[in-house]
Amino acid sequence: MNINIPCNNVPNNLEIGERIRKIRENLKMNREFFSEMIDISDVFLGQIERGERSLSLRTLFRIVSFTGCSTDYVLFGDTSNNYTIHKINRILANSSDANIDYFYELINCSNIFFKTYKGN
């Protein structure tokens, strides 16, 4: 039996590569350092960024884990999740439990302040 499933949003290597390059540049990292952090060669990263090669699930996982970006953004460009939240998650992922508690208290106090004095 052959089932034909429409795939209107098939990821495009060039678009994925451009998003990965944009993520890397937003983190202010050169190709060599970024590739080292995600455990691939800088040559392979360049090929991915130019759309010449596809990334594996393992590489996708490493990019998402390292940067805090969503797989939906990397693969499809979905920006429905706030990019600032991803940057905060990246900081939290590399923080101790004590620092995470401290950051939570800062955010909570700021939230209370804005609700009280700014009417948000």
Question: What superfamily in CATH does domain 9-79 come from?
Answer: lambda repressor-like DNA-binding domains (1.10.260.40)
- pLDDT tens digit sequence for 40-71: 999 999 999 999 999 999 999 999 989 888 88
- pLDDT tens digit sequence for 7-17: 566 789 999 99
State the DSSP string of 53-85: SPPPHHHHHHHHHHH---HHHHHH----S-HHH
The whole-number pLDDT of residue 18 equals: 96
Q: Are 35 and 41 a contacting pair, CB within 8 Å?
A: yes
Q: Where in the chain is the domain with CATH 1.10.260.40?
A: 9-79
- The residue among 78 and 71 whose pLDDT is bigger is 71
Q: CA-based angle 100:83:99, to the nearest 5?
A: 10
Q: Token match 């600032």: residue?
A: 84
